[in-house]
């Protein structure tokens, strides 16, 4: 069923969008939130489980102190207040992804509340996004739906559960309503999630990979007629799993809701599924209210009361904020405002830094990430960081070029090889035979051959028309499949012609 959409400009003529973003960040602690099971990714199903995370009778949870510290550090980085006393709560629901029949979460006493994050838009403007809360909870198990055509729940015959992920620490970060963004609402949503990702990554508490599910975004969108105050009914688009998708999902919901409202219809409060293929959303379940979850304080876990000293100790561990960090690299790498903005909007800051840390020159590193590699990412419609090439690979390619072992053209072929999964740069050079032919005797032979093939050109060069050498250089490059250093070839031609 295709939804009717109102043209974006028309949406904005009539309506004012209000957003609310809920982001789940999976912490990279070694163990789960309430038991000592490993959180390592990729293990055989149900091998990182214990009586606690399987919800077996008689088991008792104990809080992972590192998880609490990560939560507090995220809260501090988001300029939040830290609760001096708070509890966990049971969120009761009946669904097999949680074997306990409840998720251990926090309800009315989040550990972090009332903060903000300053977000930079592409034009350089700063928007302040209010943070309602950041609370601790746990992830659910992974479901596999069997017997259906598409692996989806509909039409499945039965489902299979792997509880390795069940109990992995999550921090849920909820914004205050984002009002007044107007036409830029989709961009603001994306910019916020980008800034949050960079911030959390800088804290080193999560690898925040949206493509791998360690950061997930739910986007709440509602519309109200322009000039009115009361919020409209909202929908919640679940699990939007890339930055680009966040932007698309918000825009789609704005256009869809506007069409429904303009047609005299009503928005139903529901969850919606986002579809990567066409950027659309479809109806999910009717949204439960918090009453449906029968929250109550978790009796098996004692309250958490972070002391002032503890919080201050954690505050002292906060790294430089991404915005300040950018100012510093701008100075270090001598970038113009525009160059910095390109770097940031490409999502390349950390990648370039890592490439520099691996020994590359900052300008060369920047050149690779924001031009050739960015093109590759755009072609594949993925984020730069999702390209299957590491900063170490790029640094190695840069070193090979700097050492004269590769020309820029050859280096691109090496990068193509790495992106195609052919292995490390050196392995690609080897397998594809891409080394610059620096052996003078081989080059000289190729030069002699080319001169012999074009005697008239050779004559001109001997007669002093050095410019004519270009044709011979071209022939040699062709003969060596572009693997010769053009400058050296030229020198050899002139040498052979007695220049």
Residues that bind another protein (CB under 8 A): 29-31, 35-38, 44-51, 53-54, 56, 62-68, 85, 87, 93, 95-97, 99, 140, 143-146, 152-153, 156-163, 271, 273, 284-285, 296-297, 299, 301-306
Angle at 389 between CA 335 and CA 275, to 5 degrees: 95
Distance from CA of residue 317 to its chain's centroid? Answer: 24
Nearest residue (CB) to another protein, 93 versus 231: 93
Distance between CA atoms of residues 434 and 397, nearest Å: 12
Q: Beta strands 270-275 and 280-286: pairing type?
A: antiparallel
Secondary structure class of 340 (helix, strand, coil): helix
- Quote the least distance from Cβ 261 to another protein, whole Å: 24
Which of residues 229 and 286 has its CB atom nearest to another protein in the complex? 286
CB 170 within 8 A of CB 143: no
Do the bridges between strand 270-275 and strand 296-297 make them parallel or antiparallel, or are there none, so unpaired? unpaired
Q: Which CB sits closer to another protein, 18 or 136?
A: 136
Give least dist CB 388 to another protein, A. 28
Q: Let me know: does 280 contact 248? Beta carbons within 8 Å.
A: no
- Specify the residue, 214 or 355, whose C-beta has the smaller distance to another protein: 214
Say how far apart CA 252 and CA 17 lie, in whole Å: 12
Shortest CB 219 distance to another protein, Å? 17
Residue number with CB closer to another protein (11 or 37): 37
Cα separation values, 174 from 23, 65, 131, Å: 7, 22, 6
Shortest CB 47 distance to another protein, Å: 5
Up-side HSE of residue 447: CA atoms within 13 Å toward CB?
25
Whichever of 8 and 293 has its CB closer to another protein, that residue is: 293
Pick 219 or 301: Cβ nearer another protein: 301
Q: Report how far apart, in Å, the C-alpha atoms of 126 and of each of 71, 115, 422, 476 are.
A: 25, 16, 42, 54
Of 279 and 297, which has the nearer Cβ to another protein?
A: 297
Q: Alpha carbon of 415 to those of 177, 359, 360, 371, 428: distances in Å?
A: 44, 17, 15, 13, 8
Instruction: Give me 192's structure tokens.
Output: 């916020």
Cβ distance to another protein smaller for residue 89 or 267: 89
CB of 218 to another protein, least distance (A): 12
User: Would you say 95 or 375 has its CB closer to another protein?
Assistant: 95
The Cα–Cα gap between 369 and 363 comes to: 10
Q: How far is the CB of 181 from another protein (least distance, A)?
A: 29
**Smallest separation, CB 39 to another protein (Å):** 8
Q: At what angle do helices 440-453 and 486-496 cross, to 10 degrees?
A: 60
Among 111, 99, 230, which residue's Cα sits nearest to residue 170? 111
Instruction: Provide the minimum distance between the beta carbon of 271 and another protein in the complex, in angstroms, as a whole number.
Output: 8
CB of 243 to another protein, least distance (A): 23
**d(Cα 17, Cα 258) in Å, to the nearest integer?**
10
Q: Is the C-alpha dihedral spanning 225, 229, 233, 238 positive or negative?
A: positive
Tokens for 42, please give them.
């990729």
Nearest alpha-carbon partner for 237 in 247, 248, 225, 249: 249
Q: Which of residues 140 and 355 has its CB atom nearest to another protein in the complex?
A: 140
Smallest separation (angstroms) from another protein to the CB of 303: 5
Provide, rounded to whole angstroms, the least separation between the CB of residue 117 and another protein: 27
Measured from the CB of residue 176, what is the shortest distance to another protein in angstroms? Answer: 25
Residue with smaller CB distance to another protein, 46 or 408: 46
Question: What does DSSP assign to residue 304?
Answer: B
Residue 199's closest CA among 320, 307, 291?
Answer: 320
């Amino acid at each position: 069923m295709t939804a009717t959409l109102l043209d974006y400009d028309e949406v904005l003529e009539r309506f004012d969008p209000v957003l609310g973003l809920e982001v789940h960040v999976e912490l990279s602690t070694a163990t789960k939130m309430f038991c000592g099971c490993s959180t390592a990714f990729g293990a055989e199903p149900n091998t990182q489980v214990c009586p606690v995370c399987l919800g077996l009778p008689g088991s008792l949870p104990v809080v992972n102190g590192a998880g609490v510290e990560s939560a507090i550090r995220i809260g501090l980085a988001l300029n939040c207040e830290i609760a001096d006393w708070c509890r966990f709560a049971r969120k009761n629901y009946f669904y097999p992804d949680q074997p306990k029949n409840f998720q251990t979460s926090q309800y009315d006493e989040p550990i972090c509340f009332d903060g903000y994050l300053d977000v930079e838009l592409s034009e350089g403007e700063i928007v302040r996004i209010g943070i309602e809360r950041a609370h601790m909870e746990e992830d659910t198990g992974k479901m596999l739906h069997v017997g259906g055509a598409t692996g989806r729940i509909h039409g499945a015959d039965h489902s299979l559960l792997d509880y390795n992920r069940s109990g992995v620490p999550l921090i849920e970060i909820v914004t205050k309503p984002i009002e007044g963004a107007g036409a830029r609402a989709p961009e603001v949503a994306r910019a916020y999630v980008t800034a949050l990702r960079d911030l959390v990554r800088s804290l080193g508490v999560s690898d925040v990979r949206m493509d791998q599910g360690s950061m997930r975004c739910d986007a709440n969108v509602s519309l109200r007629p322009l000039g009115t105050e009361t919020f409209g009914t909202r929908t919640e688009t679940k699990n939007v799993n890339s930055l680009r998708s966040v932007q698309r999902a918000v825009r789609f919901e704005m256009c869809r809701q506007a069409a429904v409202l303009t047609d005299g219809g009503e928005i139903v409060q529901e969850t919606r599924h986002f579809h990567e293929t066409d950027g659309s959303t479809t109806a999910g379940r009717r949204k439960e209210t918090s009453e449906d979850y029968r929250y109550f304080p978790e009796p098996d876990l004692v309250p958490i009361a972070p002391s002032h000293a503890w919080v201050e100790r954690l505050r002292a561990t906060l790294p430089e904020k991404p915005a300040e960090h950018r100012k510093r690299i701008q100075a270090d790498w001598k970038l113009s405002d525009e160059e910095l903005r390109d770097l940031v909007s490409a999502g390349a800051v950390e990648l370039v830094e890592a490439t520099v840390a691996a020994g590359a020159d900052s300008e060369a590193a920047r050149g690779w990430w924001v031009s050739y590699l960015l093109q590759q990412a755009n072609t594949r419609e993925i984020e730069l960081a999702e390209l299957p090439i590491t900063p170490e690979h790029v640094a190695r390619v840069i070193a090979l070029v700097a050492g004269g072992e590769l020309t820029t053209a050859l280096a691109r072929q090496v990068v193509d090889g790495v992106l195609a999964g052919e292995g490390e740069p050196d392995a690609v050079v080897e397998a594809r035979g891409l080394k610059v032919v620096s052996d003078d005797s081989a080059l000289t032979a190729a030069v002699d051959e080319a001169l012999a093939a074009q005697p008239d050109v050779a004559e001109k060069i001997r007669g002093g028309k050095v410019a004519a050498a270009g044709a011979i250089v071209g022939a040699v490059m062709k003969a060596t499949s572009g693997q010769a250093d053009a400058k050296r070839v030229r020198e050899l031609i002139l040498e052979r012609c007695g220049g």
